Structure 1
Amino acid sequence: MSLAAAPSGLDANNLSPSLSELLALRFDAWVWLPLILVGGWYFVAFARSRKTSPNAWPIWRAVLFGLALICTVIVTQSQAITLTLNSMALYMGRLMVLAELVPPLAVLGMPRHLKISRESALGRVLSVILDPWVVLALWVAILIFWNIPAGFNASIVTNTAGALLPGLYLLGGLLVWSVILRPLPSIQGRSLGNRGWFGLLSGLPMMAVAAVWLYSPKVLYTPYVSALCLWNLTPLQNQSISGWIMMLAGLPGMAVALVQLMGWLIELADSGTQTPPPPTA
């Protein structure tokens, strides 16, 4: 999944590709095979569950999970990945789909009848991995390191970093949305208020990076300083549009966090106004 590879199936001199040209699929076995395995495992388990307990695993959850897989294929296996050097905005749009669209679809697609004991080995591992402070530290590290000039430049010009960054954004997004949406309540004991505060804190670094891109008077990343950009945009316009893309992509998570905080405050208000039950005889 090299982001800096020469275009395949696209005219290198065409700086105004059509949507169909951008979305034309390619084949990378290292990406397709894991997605096929994950999708196969999920839908086999879904079919078995529907036979034994039709109401335990709603169809809409399978639809959302399927959409998550489709979006992942589109942003990681389309010809758009060959044009990274010509459009920072296109590159950032792909990363934001992996970080802010695919994860909530996948997490909402998980069945809620799965019970994992906190005392089991898997439960202990997941309780650490899904701890909000651990997730927040990892997410901030991904955002800060890969968006400073040295890290971002490396993600553009090196094949290893170019393939690693989309995976890190996907992993970070899955962890963040798993904390926010709490798909495993048996091992995730955080209250609505805690999850709301976490959502706000996890969204701030991305908003800060987006603001820097929006208001910077110069191009911050070396590969784009003199790049020939798609659709006759200048490198600075590309960077500003990337800022808007990142900011808009972070708004749904912030909105969910605010709703959770409002729900938590309402719970606090209700608990303080309820009349205590009469003493038992």
Structure 2
Amino acid sequence: MLIPRTFVVAALGWVGGAEAHGLTADDRAALHFGWSFDPWVVGLLVLSAALYVVGYVRLRARSRQARTVRAVHCTAFALGWFALVAALDSPLDTLAAALFSAHMLQHEALMLIAAPLLVIGRPLSVWMWALPVSLRVGVGCAVRSRWIRAPWRTITTPLAAWLLHAAALWGWHAPVFFEAALARPGIHTLQHASFLVSALLFWWTVFGNTQRSERSAHAMLSLFTTMVHTGALGALLTLSPGLWYPSYIESTSALGFDPLQDQQLGGLVMWVPGGLAYLIGGLAVAARWLVKRLPSPMRARAAQDG
């Protein structure tokens, strides 16, 4: 059985919103934007990277087969890891407290850059090899139990993952919930966690399980429909004549920007670059499908080439 390779990765985003994105009085006075080194975020990021390096080295020493594939996975994980760092610890995180457009860019980095790259990186299978043998066996037995296997199969069906991701996107952008996340650190943490977890599940249905032939059709449909509904949400934000999130008025004005224009820019971030990310994903799925249609010798040669 394929184990849930992305659930552990989701913990990296759970603490990403440890501070709510409403400015305090001191923040408004200083308006200084730098790196935010939350101990929990930094600790989880460092731990995840260390485990991956140990597991990767052990796997590479164990067998020379599929080294190219493992190298691709390692590169994807590294890029996804750096995307998490950029979203959760870089000045983008502190700037998101003052600008809605920066906040939207942060969310897009989590959902459209970090999440798909982490899924491609297959971190859990590599982390397993960093564990002691006894613990590795115990974890393997646990994830194969029906208590984990049945829920995992349910939430990773294309329809369930699509619905969860769409609900997270539309629900959290409702003004009442978005404003609550800006005001309360706990709710803001939940917002970031639900964005990342639902994105990991969504991209798992696209790139995670490639053994079933019908996955490509499901993946293309999921990507196209998600591109449509996220584009619609971005268009609503961009073309709206009024402000959706009044909490940003003071901080945006303090930086010399028009709050409505900042909202429009945030909508464009979701509408245009977001749509491009789903288009790139669709092209990757199409390329995967075409490679599978090649004769076996040509398929093997394509795999060796990269």
TM-score range, shorter chain: 0.7 to 0.9
CA change 1:113–1:67 in 2 (3 A) is closer
Query: Is 1:147–2:173 an aligned residue pair?
Result: yes
Q: Is the 8 A contact 1:75 1:81 kept in 2?
A: yes
Tell me the residue number matched to 1:177.
203
Q: Which amino acid in the other structure matches residue 20 of structure 2?
A: L
User: How many Å separate the matches in 1 of 2:73 and 2:183?
Assistant: 38
1:16-31 matches, within 5 Å, as 21-22=33-34, 24-29=35-40, 31=41
Deviations 1:115-137, CA, capped at 9 Å, x for gaps? x9998645444322211111011
CA change 1:172–1:193 in 2 (3 A) is same
TM-score, structure 2 length as denominator? 0.72
User: How many Å separate the matches in 1 of 2:262 and 2:222?
Assistant: 31
Q: Is the 8 A contact 2:115 2:200 kept in 1?
A: yes
Deviations 1:79-117, CA, capped at 9 Å, x for gaps? 443343420011111111001000121122128999x99
Query: Is 1:200–2:224 an aligned residue pair?
Result: yes
CA change 1:56–1:260 in 2 (3 A) is closer
User: How many Å separate the matches in 1 of 2:57 and 2:284?
Assistant: 34
Query: Is 1:158–2:184 an aligned residue pair?
Result: yes
CA change 1:46–1:85 in 2 (3 A) is closer
Give the secondary structure class of the aligned counterpart of 2:64.
coil
Query: Is 1:212–2:229 an aligned residue pair?
Result: no
Q: Tell me by how many angstroms 1:193 deviates.
A: 1.5
Tell me the residue number matched to 2:162.
136
Q: Is the 8 A contact 1:192 1:261 kept in 2?
A: yes
Alpha carbon RMSD of aligned pairs, Å? 3.4
Q: Is the 8 A contact 2:36 2:93 kept in 1?
A: no
User: How many Å separate the matches in 2 of 1:112 and 1:5?
Assistant: 35
Tell me the residue number matched to 1:39.
49
User: How many Å separate the matches in 2 of 1:5 and 1:88?
Assistant: 11
Give the secondary structure class of the aligned counterpart of 1:140.
helix
User: How many Å separate the matches in 1 of 2:261 and 2:221?
Assistant: 33
Q: Is the 8 A contact 1:25 1:74 kept in 2?
A: no
User: How many Å separate the matches in 1 of 2:181 and 2:215?
Assistant: 37
User: How many Å separate the matches in 1 of 2:56 and 2:217?
Assistant: 32
User: How many Å separate the matches in 1 of 2:149 and 2:49?
Assistant: 23
Q: Is the 8 A contact 1:197 1:261 kept in 2?
A: no
In structure 2, stretches of 5+ residues that fail to align are: 1-17, 127-139, 294-306
Query: Is 1:109–2:109 an aligned residue pair?
Result: no
Q: Is the 8 A contact 2:110 2:196 kept in 1?
A: yes
In structure 1, stretches of 5+ residues that fail to align are: 269-281
User: How many Å separate the matches in 2 of 1:27 and 1:261?
Assistant: 40
Rg (Cα) greater in structure: 1
TM-score, structure 1 length as denominator? 0.78
Tell me the residue number matched to 1:3.
20
Given the alignment, which residue of 85, 99, 106 partners 1:94? Answer: 106
Deviates more, 1:199-208 or 1:213-222: 199-208
Deviates more, 1:119-128 or 1:239-248: 119-128
Give the secondary structure class of the aligned counterpart of 1:43.
helix
Tell me the residue number matched to 1:78.
90
Deviations 1:215-246, CA, capped at 9 Å, x for gaps? 11111112124443475220011101101111
Higher helix share: 2
Q: Is the 8 A contact 1:98 1:170 kept in 2?
A: yes
CA change 1:258–1:230 in 2 (3 A) is farther
